[in-house]
């Protein structure tokens, strides 16, 4: 264990785990609080299907050591990996197909390509 490492106790299993100095820096840079669970309990909770607990049980800061899921893009059919477990009720896209869809979703809200009256009635 390094000098800057912390020894924490998992809130689920009670085991002690090391929160390394580099993990602490990563969490601090992103404004995350210290983890409450060890890695194996975090992974078990993530794969346990706790979809109703958005926010409280969600751990977005763990993707660097998390599991990747192999999927087929709903748009082009290319095999790709995603850093989450798809629920099955929504399409999953590869990086190339997701970016155009992501950008296209925001244009109707006063973006550069019309769609709606937002911004038209304003006088500058």
User: In Å, what is the CA distance from 85 to each residue of 30, 68, 108, 114?
Assistant: 23, 8, 30, 36
Confidence of residue 10 (pLDDT cuts 50, 70, 90): very high
Q: Per-residue pLDDT for 111 more than 50? A: no
Per the confidence metrics, is the pTM higher than 0.75?
A: no
Q: What is the pLDDT of residue 36?
A: 92
**Greater confidence, 97 or 112?**
97
Q: What is the pLDDT of residue 84?
A: 83
Tell me how far the alpha carbon of residue 42 is from its chain's centroid: 14
Tell me how far the alpha carbon of residue 3 is from its chain's centroid: 30
What share of the chain in percent tops pLDDT 90?
A: 22
Q: What is the pLDDT of residue 108?
A: 46
């Amino acid at each position: 264990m390094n000098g800057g490492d912390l020894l924490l106790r998992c809130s689920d299993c009670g085991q002690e785990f090391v929160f390394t100095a580099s993990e602490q820096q990563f969490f601090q840079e992103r404004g995350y609080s210290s983890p409450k669970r060890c890695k194996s309990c975090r992974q078990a909770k993530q794969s346990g299907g706790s979809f109703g607990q958005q926010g409280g049980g969600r751990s977005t800061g763990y993707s660097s050591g998390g599991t990747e899921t192999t999927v087929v893009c709903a748009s082009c059919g290319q095999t790709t990996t995603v850093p989450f477990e798809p629920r099955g009720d929504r399409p999953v896209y590869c990086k190339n197909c997701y970016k155009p869809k992501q950008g296209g979703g925001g244009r109707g809200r006063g973006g550069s390509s019309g769609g709606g009256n937002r911004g038209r009635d304003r006088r500058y």
